[in-house]
Structure 1
Amino acid sequence: MNIHVIDTGFFKLDGGAMFGVVPKVLWHKHNPADVNNLCTWAMRCLLIEDGDRLILIDTGMGDKQSEKFFSYYEPHGETTLLKSIKKVGFLPEDVTDVVLTHLHFDHVGGAVVRKNEKLRTTFPNAIYWSDAEHWAWALAPNPREKASFLKENIGPVQESEQLQFLPENSPFPNLDFIKVKGHTEQMMLPVINYKNKILIYAADLIPSSAHVPLPWVMAYDVRPLLTMQEKANVLERAVSENTILIFEHDSVYEAATLENTESGIRIKEKGKLRDLL
């Protein structure tokens, strides 16, 4: 098995929205905001070679939205999803499985491209994996999340006949999933068995290294108190199993290990994923 970090660029989100009730005097030390109170965040995916399968976890924002849409989020950086996949030696046609942790636009946007004015799946030979309950949730969104579930990201996948819902038993020999409901309904966190190590792709449960402390919960979460309990469960498991957490949105640090401290569970080491493996 080989694991590649796939960088798809950066974007900006409001610091207050990303850190919830945590005061700015605390969070700005970790991720300084610009004059508009916007902080820079990564859109970090994974590409896993496992036998005859090439598994992509999340797809970033993509590039098919309007100029007006992008003006809200200021995407930037030289890397893109397809450039990063090509850099490690693969083409879109090589991907066999696309795992979508959830359907917010910054996680699923790259799953669909616009070609000749038509929307189609980016990875034509892949199965697109989602959760059935989350898919239904996204098709009838609540007002809080409606702006994050875009029909141009979801419709083409459903119409492609490539969509499958994750069964109770994982279809992957070295990949399992934790389902969480605090951020959105039934978000899937991939748990990867890699060379006698356990890796958890934390998606939006713990989007960055700064979000490890329990009260540091995004204002975007639909059930923030549940997020805190789900975080506690994942963090306790990570410490007990010496797990590596992979951060999807941290603009600097790809991953971290954890330890118990007098202040609770905190980061032990953080940096590039390859240096922690």
Structure 2
Amino acid sequence: MNLFPINAGNLKLDGGAMFGVVPKSLWQKTNPADTNNMIELTTRCLLIEDGNRLILIDNGMGNKQPEKFFGYYHLWGNHTLEGSLKAHGFHRNDITDVFLTHLHFDHCGGSIQWNKNKTGYEPAFKNAHFWSNKDHWQWATQPNRREKASFLKENIIPIEESGQLKFASLPQDDLLKNSELGFDIFFANGHTDKQMIPLIKYKDKTIAFMADLLPTVGHLPLPYIMGYDTRPLLTLNEKEKFLNIAADNNYYLFLEHDAHNEIITVKKTEKGIRLKNIYTTQEIFN
């Protein structure tokens, strides 16, 4: 098995929205804001090469939205999904599976692109299966008013219409062991219903792709929860449970949205779970 970080692009979001009820005087210590209160974030995806399968976990915002849409998110840097794949010697058409932790636009927007004449949409990965789960798919296609702006129909419906959609099995509790894709999945419901957190066995390590359960290092303290989460008290419990397991088992936490820290480990302290070590993907994957 080989693992590759794939940077699908950088953005900025309002720091207050990213940290909910936590005061700026606290969160700006780890996530400094610009003059517009925006903090730097990224969409760091993960590519798994395992035998004949090439699995991409999440794929960023894509590029099919109008300029006005992207203007809200203050894109920065030169990273692209296509360029990052190419840098590692791959092409979109090589991808066999696209695993979507959830269907918010910044995680699944790269799944679908304009067709050649811009008269409609088509899958950006023509040879891949797209993986979600039945409960989350229903949640996203019949969205509540709180999340409706994050579930864009043009990112979601064309996946089903393509015939390339598959559903991962749902667990009896919150952990699905050895899913159809060959890795365990932790299901979390606080951010959005049935978000999937992959746990990949790599050599002697467990790599946890944290998606929006832990967006950045700054979100390690349990009450540091995004304003975007639909059930923040549930997120609180899920974070506590998962981070304690991560500390006990020395999981390597792959951070999807932290623009400056790629992988971390955590430890238990008298004040709760705290940062243990920070690593680059190159240190862990090579």
Band of TM-score, shorter chain? over 0.9
Q: Is structure 2 residue 229 aligned with structure 1 residue 229?
A: no
Tell me which residue corresponds to 2:179.
170
Q: Equivalent residue of 1:236, what SS?
A: helix
Tell me which residue corresponds to 2:201.
193
Question: TM-score normalised to the size of structure 1?
Answer: 0.97
Deviations 1:116-148 (A, max 9, x none): 202111100101000110000011111110100
Paired residue total: 276
- 1:273 CA drift (Å): 2.2
What aligned pairs does 1:84-233 form with structure 2 within 5 A after superposition?
84-115=84-115, 116-117=117-118, 118-168=120-170, 170-173=179-182, 175-233=183-241
Residue type at the aligned position of 1:201: F
Residue type at the aligned position of 2:181: F
Partners of 1:26 and 1:240 in 2: CA distance: 27
Partners of 2:87 and 2:112 in 1: CA distance: 20
- Once the two structures are overlaid, the 10-residue window that deviates more, 244-253 or 110-119, is 110-119
Alignment root-mean-square deviation, CA? 1.0
Tell me which residue corresponds to 1:12.
12
Q: Is structure 2 residue 94 aligned with structure 1 residue 55?
A: no
Residue type at the aligned position of 1:154: I
Partners of 1:8 and 1:77 in 2: CA distance: 11
Deviations 1:177-215 (A, max 9, x none): 011100000000011000021111010010111111101
% same residue = 53
Q: Equivalent residue of 1:171, what SS?
A: coil
Instruction: List alignment gaps of at least 5 residues for structure 1.
Output: none
Q: Equivalent residue of 2:114, what SS?
A: strand
- 1:276 CA drift (Å): 4.0
- 1:172 CA drift (Å): 2.3
Tell me which residue corresponds to 2:174.
none
Q: Equivalent residue of 1:190, what SS?
A: strand
Partners of 1:154 and 1:238 in 2: CA distance: 32
Residue pair 1:214, 1:232 contacting (<8 A) in 2 also: yes
Residue pair 1:256, 1:276 contacting (<8 A) in 2 also: no
Residue pair 1:202, 1:247 contacting (<8 A) in 2 also: yes
Partners of 1:113 and 1:210 in 2: CA distance: 33
The 4+ residue runs of structure 1 with deviation greater than 3 A are none
Partners of 2:69 and 2:156 in 1: CA distance: 17
Partners of 1:192 and 1:142 in 2: CA distance: 31
Partners of 1:102 and 1:50 in 2: CA distance: 22
Residue type at the aligned position of 2:275: I
Residue type at the aligned position of 1:176: D
- From 248, 262, 272, give the equivalent of 1:254: 262
Partners of 2:238 and 2:85 in 1: CA distance: 31
Residue type at the aligned position of 1:221: D
